[in-house]
Amino acid sequence: MKALQKTDYGKGFIEIRNVEKPEIIDDYDVLIKVKAAGVCGTDIHILNDEFPYYPPVTLGHEFSGVVEDVGDSVTKFKIGDRVVAEPHSKACMVCDVCRRGYWQICDKKRSPGWGINGAFTDYLIMPEKLIHFIPDNVSFDIAALAEPMAIVTNYVSERAKIYSQDFVAVIGAGPIGILASLVAKECGASKVVMLGVEADKDLRFKTALELGVDEVVNVMNENPVEAIKTLSKGKMADIVIEASGNEKGIGSAINIVRKIGRICAIGLTGKETVNFPWDTAQNKILDIFFNMSSSYTSWDRALSLMSNTKFDLNKLITHKESLENWEQVFNDIIEGRAIKAMFKFN
């Protein structure tokens, strides 16, 4: 079978290779036939040698599929079940964070797509403990959004906690920012305002407005502080979701949130340090929630939301391509011509 792999260390070194179909070894393993797999920013970072990886390794960690075979000790899933899976493989389960239920940040975790072979291929193996059923009314394409949806559900709903009638500002108009906006709206936010740049104007702002965002602010044309002050009638944002990872965006988050407000940190900067208005945050008595990856409960919440939302998540998917077109897909993402891209597998 064919697989899109990172073949060596360094920038580039991605190609389609022929690989063997994986076989079940552990009694708790499940063999999954991949139906759809989403391209994440992490895949682009691996292309550019900006994220840890262990070549040769098959890329891809956002996927949906069908159970093809199960190990002898698997009891919850059977052949033919429609499933998704958390990318938390190889967590040690004995360190302090694992024993507290946070195996997503275990130092020994080796996730599909960078630490072990992932989903940009026809089949992969996942342990039963990480697998979830896809609701009957959710397509394979939408189900492949479950991983980023679980991430923002964990960050926005479970940790930062949107309250009914909150005024929410979201900085960053990428896929995570748009999904975070949708989750905020589903949690009862009265108004969601998205802040982005000129490059977001035609595609991302339009999609965001179709998926729960009430207002958009182009920070290259408008002062973000004044815009939020006007839209909130002087109150400022109850909570700011920082999904850009941009230093200026992080600074804006501190300035547009109200006193005794909350900031939900999502975006990674890719830098050791950034300038941060510490005294302003202190004087406002802000709660800042730092986040990483997803929780077990956030997957069930995310899948339920996908099943019950009134918003059409298909609008987020701009590309549905075969694996052979991976270079064009990656380029479109890098150049801002895509929101969410899916590789389709027959």
What pLDDT digit, counting tens, does each position of 146-173 carry? 999 999 999 999 999 999 999 999 999 9
Output phi, psi for 204, to 5 deg: -75, -45
CA-to-CA separations, 288 to 111, 156, 198, 291, 306, in angstroms, rounded:
27, 12, 28, 10, 27
Identify the segments of the chain with pLDDT beneath 70: none
What pLDDT was estimated at residue 234?
96
Output phi, psi for 80, to 5 deg: 100, -15
**Using CB atoms within 10 A of its CB, is residue 113 exposed (0-12), middle (13-18) or buried (19+)?**
buried
Structure tokens at 133: 């059923």
| Residues 97 and 152 sit within 8 Å (Cβ to Cβ) | no
What pLDDT was estimated at residue 227?
97
What pLDDT was estimated at residue 40?
93
| Residues 169 and 240 sit within 8 Å (Cβ to Cβ) | yes
Structure tokens at 343: 């590789």
Residue 146: closest CA among 319, 340, 324: 340
| Helix (H) / strand (E) containing 28 | none
What pLDDT was estimated at residue 8?
97
What pLDDT digit, counting tens, does each position of 52-98 carry? 999 999 999 999 999 999 999 999 999 999 999 999 888 888 999 99
**Using CB atoms within 10 A of its CB, is residue 275 exposed (0-12), middle (13-18) or buried (19+)?**
exposed
Structure tokens at 236: 């400022």
What pLDDT was estimated at residue 90?
87
Sign of the CA dihedral 66, 68, 74, 78? Answer: positive
